[in-house]
Structure 1
């Protein structure tokens, strides 16, 4: 089975086997499992003795951030970054936590980058109880997501600064990417804020005042990111409309240019086509100066049409 366990007594943390954690005492007994295999799911139900609904919540394939109180315990599901984002259909992966008294069970299908920070904190003696553990998960996840949301906004700022009809296709691809990413992050950050707020308000004795403050701070940060993502989505939609308008203007401008060129050469083409007919009795067809005269007339007509368009400002975009 893939997993590990920690036991914390008076601020001193020690790593133990998951089986030993089932009977261990202390200020915090934390068991973490990877639920990519059936063995871990069976272990939670059979050896750990957790209720079926808790095992189902810890091992669910698809889940959204939420918090549920069950007696003196609580189930919390949070979404955070994973190392290999290309392997996920969604932007974030879940960490599912069940806390009841000093005992905490957590499970992940994909390892989150926040896990290393939590393990380092518990090794350094910074985590002393279940509230500290969950608050560290929440704080680390939101700290990692904050700069990514800010990067989406910066990427959109760059697109707005480089707004140019000659870069419509590149900018549209970037704006579409930003909009899709904002929607994917927003899908989880809004319920994550609600879950953290609900957890901070639960009347359980294993959550202390400082834990509630840290959870509230993480919830506030998640709310701010959700608002920023809403703003990014709206700006991306407006930017997409602006790029569509620029593209339409570019097409109109090129169509106008083509039309002007056609209008310039239309009378010239008529005259040259007329004198290009292989028939008798064309006026001045036998005169030596006929070619120069026809060429001069065509040039004069073309110049006259161009001057007319310039006076009417048809060449302006």
Structure 2
């Protein structure tokens, strides 16, 4: 029983006979190529191990193009038809400890009747769930049904991540509605960035699943096609949710910026009004403050109070004029 994750590149190998319990496969079972004597076989391999890459290229018995795609360093979600099978590349959220969920993990799959080969770079919990279900007796009828089960678990694992983003954007929205959020926060920027990254990888999976369900292989059962369509609908909901989160984040940021701009404009307007009122007073006091002979009232005791009264009258006239012009209320 091969249970050591990534040991020599064979993470797990399970053969399902016509009757009886599943068999655990090891490299000895694959020494001559594909294992025989099973109605369904699933091999889950580690792309980082050279032994796994060599076996895929030389002994898996799949087209060279598909083999190269399974062991490629970089790839994107897609579906490619071959005469005897399908190449499917999907991505799942990274739920490994200490990892960012938006750092999505690719899962490359070759599937044909009676055989599924999956290759990964990092651990995916959806794969572990499916392996555990197989070992506990949840045996699919064929590889197409196994593919549908794996895809369903892969996309269900995304739901908590999307829900978390929705809860966080709701919280930010509540804060800005209450007026406690005055500046675009790091939280808001991170939400937008995470949403963009997730959407970038999830959206192609919707197209890939649509391609697969619109023109499925002849050996796919109706149950499998129905399951894959349900998975595609789930992905569509995720994309729509991500679009909504991204748009809400933009609206919140625009609202905060507009609120700050309005507040700044009000302050600048108030300063402009004060400046307009004080400008004549400044001109008058500047004129009376020049140090030249002949200034009227310099020898009169009540001249200061006369000037003060005149300035009060000027301010009153200015306020009346500004209100008449409806510059302020």
Whole-angstrom distance in 1 between the partners of 2:170 and 2:193: 16
TM superposition shift of 1:243: 4.2
TM superposition shift of 1:67: 1.4
RMSD value, Cα: 3.3
Matched residue, 2:44: 32
Matched residue, 1:6: 14
Matched residue, 1:258: 271
Q: Count residues in correspondence.
A: 314
* 1:124-162 Cα deviation digits (max 9, x unpaired): 222434233322221122212234334444444444443
Matched residue, 2:29: 20
TM superposition shift of 1:106: 0.7
Residue 130 (1) aligns with residue 143 (2): yes
1:116-265 to 2 correspondence within 5 Å?
A: 116-128=128-140, 129-161=142-174, 162-163=176-177, 167-170=181-184, 174-200=187-213, 201-205=215-219, 207-265=220-278
- Normalized per residue, the structure richer in helix is 1
Structure 1 stretch displaced more, 37-46 or 75-84: 37-46
Matched residue, 1:76: 88
1:293–1:41: structure 2 CA closer, same or farther, 3 Å change rule? farther
* 1:94-146 Cα deviation digits (max 9, x unpaired): 11111122221111122223223222222322243423332222112221223
Judge conservation of contact 1:31–1:104 (CA < 8 Å) in 2.
yes
Whole-angstrom distance in 2 between the partners of 1:11 and 1:217: 31
Structure 1 stretch displaced more, 196-205 or 95-104: 196-205
1:80–1:287: structure 2 CA closer, same or farther, 3 Å change rule? same
Tell me the SS of whatever aligns to 2:276. helix
Tell me the SS of whatever aligns to 2:157. helix
Residue 51 (1) aligns with residue 51 (2): no
1:77-96 to 2 correspondence within 5 Å?
A: 77-83=89-95, 91-96=103-108
Judge conservation of contact 2:110–2:117 (CA < 8 Å) in 1.
yes
TM superposition shift of 1:303: 5.2
Whole-angstrom distance in 1 between the partners of 2:171 and 2:326: 33
TM superposition shift of 1:40: 3.1
Tell me the SS of whatever aligns to 1:170. coil
Task: Give the TM-score, by structure 2 length.
Answer: 0.79
1:214–1:306: structure 2 CA closer, same or farther, 3 Å change rule? same
Residue 110 (1) aligns with residue 118 (2): no
Judge conservation of contact 2:16–2:41 (CA < 8 Å) in 1.
yes
Q: Relative contact order: is structure 1 or structure 2 higher (C-alpha 8 Å, sep ≥ 6)?
A: 1
Whole-angstrom distance in 1 between the partners of 2:153 and 2:177: 36
Unmatched 5+ residue regions in structure 2? 1-7
Query: Which of the residues 259, 283, 288 maps onto 2:296?
Result: 283
Unmatched 5+ residue regions in structure 1? none
Whole-angstrom distance in 2 between the partners of 1:83 and 1:25: 36
Judge conservation of contact 2:94–2:102 (CA < 8 Å) in 1.
no
Judge conservation of contact 2:15–2:40 (CA < 8 Å) in 1.
yes
* 1:244-275 Cα deviation digits (max 9, x unpaired): 43343233222212212222322222223223
Tell me the SS of whatever aligns to 1:104. strand
